[in-house]
Copies of this chain bind each other. A is one copy, B any other.
Amino acid sequence: MIFTYMCKTCGCSSRSRDFGTIERFVEPCILLLLSKESAHGYGLLEGLETHCGEKVDVGDLYRTLRRMEHDGWVTSVWDKKNVRDKRVYTITKEGHAFLKHAVASLKQTDELIHHLFSGYQKVYPDSNAI
């Protein structure tokens, strides 16, 4: 997410990323999609855009998949039966376990967000932000 705020002091826009960005949120999204069916990197793009609320950087996606393979959450094989070669990823037992862990972790995050919301509503009862 891109944040376009220009700072009052010097007019810079160096702080480019928006609030609400969850670090490596794309990873549980990938694991959830692969829980339904194995897929190759490019084929995940559309589903990830839905889950992440915006386009996912393609280069970042491929690097993430390799990292996840290194960590043992997915495995990959080359599929050469198609028009173009595809590296097809499959979720592992460890990947399932990690997805469960990530969901539980996000549950805690969700509670922190809602705690902020309730605090905000107390201070600004007339706000339409939420």
Which chain B residue has the least Cβ–Cβ distance from A104? Answer: B129
A 90-117 to B, binary, CB cutoff 8 A, 1 in contact else 0:
0000100011111111111111111111
User: Is there an interface contact between B108 and A20, defined as CB atoms closer than 8 Å?
Assistant: yes
Distance (whole angstroms) from the CB of A17 to the closest CB of chain B:
6
Which chain B residue has the least Cβ–Cβ distance from A114? Answer: B110
Overall SS of chain A's interface: helix
Question: Which of B19, B51, B107, B127 is within 8 Å of A105, CB to CB?
Answer: B19
- Contacts of A94 on B, CB cut-off 8 Å? 8
Most chain B CB within a 10 A radius of its CB, from A25, A107, A111: A25
- Contacts of A117 on B, CB cut-off 8 Å? 103, 106-107
- Contacts of A127 on B, CB cut-off 8 Å? 100, 103
Question: Can you add 10 more A-B contacts, CB < 8 Å, to A36-B123, A103-B116, A104-B129?
Answer: A1-B105, A5-B71, A7-B72, A8-B72, A8-B94, A22-B109, A25-B112, A28-B116, A100-B129, A103-B120
Instruction: List, sorted by A's number, 10 A–B pairs whose CB atoms are closer than 8 Å.
Output: A7-B72, A8-B94, A19-B105, A22-B112, A36-B123, A51-B112, A52-B112, A53-B108, A106-B116, A113-B113
